[in-house]
Structure 1
């Protein structure tokens, strides 16, 4: 859902509890609980998207590209709030040290953990009638995010989920053929 707004009936406190519970209940390999989140409401939400906008401005190759980018970022800024998803790399390193046989897999499994936490959050907010979209403006804003919100260095930014009231239906999605994507054996 890209057309989102601020006509949200739920309080930030209720939404915070919902998001925290969704992430807490999300499974992780070895019960690592490596997922972390920063929830930004109001001016903090706007500040994040302003940081993204300013950073992207330095990458714009021409005025047309800059205008398109600004429009997109303003649509995110129009949302109600943003969840910044992180993975704690110290947890991953600890597991690598503790279980050397699986060391190469822990970074991969960490990505699985954050994906499940993101999906659980998305689903929980959807059940409340809210829409949103998952964005990936990391690593270009990592330094600013860590500085602005005093995020521990061990937290690695993985995604940003902007959400709010649904202001227009989602655009139709196309799919590849099932026989290309799936194999079923009976």
Structure 2
């Protein structure tokens, strides 16, 4: 039996060669992101996952003005910075970025009512974050879009929150860049699945 879920996971790769010439509509993209976040499970139904979607000028601003300039100030050497600049410009070439957050306030409020389970909520919320992330990645793939996942937090967090008026309690977890696929990534080697999945 051929499962559509597995077929979509096979297509989920880290696509770095992207541009803005997408075939999907912005409305389809927005609806897919909303649905993934809405329907993804969370521990004790906390629903603390958050997403801020940047497209157009906002996407460009994130990579050109926030990430690029933050890293430039850290490296402080133009010659050494050239490879980083090229990488960041590659992300900027994409169509949009999903900023994936965790609402720290929602987590803390939930902990107080969970008794001994509360101490595990931070760990379980990471599971929920992973579920949302893979859901977004595969949904974008189903729309014919490529994506890659970046982690420039926490060095960009304050400026991102100030620029787009994001609550201070939200914790930035990752940045998912998406766009039109220009080039397929190279195949990766895989460990023998029988060493990773055991049936008893």
Say if 2:180 is the partner of 1:165: yes
- Tell me what 1:49 maps to: 63
Matches within 5 A, 1:83-102: 83-102=98-117
Can you list the C-alpha shifts for 1:96-130, whole angstroms capped at 9, x where unaligned?
10012112211111111111111101110100111
Say if 2:22 is the partner of 1:12: no
Can you list the C-alpha shifts for 1:14-36, whole angstroms capped at 9, x where unaligned?
21111111111111111111100
Structure-2 separation of matches of 1:75 and 1:112: 29
- Tell me what 1:74 maps to: 89
- Tell me what 1:145 maps to: 160
**1:12–1:41 CA contact under 8 A, matched in 2:** no
Can you list the C-alpha shifts for 1:31-77, whole angstroms capped at 9, x where unaligned?
11110000001000001112101001122264443011100000000
- Tell me what 1:119 maps to: 134
* Higher mean C-alpha displacement, 104-113 vs 169-178: 169-178
SS in 2 for 1:36: strand
Q: TM-score, normalised by structure 2?
A: 0.88
* Higher mean C-alpha displacement, 9-18 vs 29-38: 9-18
Shift of 1:177: 4.6
**1:34–1:92 CA contact under 8 A, matched in 2:** yes
Structure 1 unmatched runs, 5+:
none
Structure-2 separation of matches of 1:25 and 1:163: 21
Question: Among 175, 178, 186, which residue is 2:190 paired with?
Answer: 175
Structure 2 unmatched runs, 5+:
1-14
- Tell me what 2:3 maps to: none
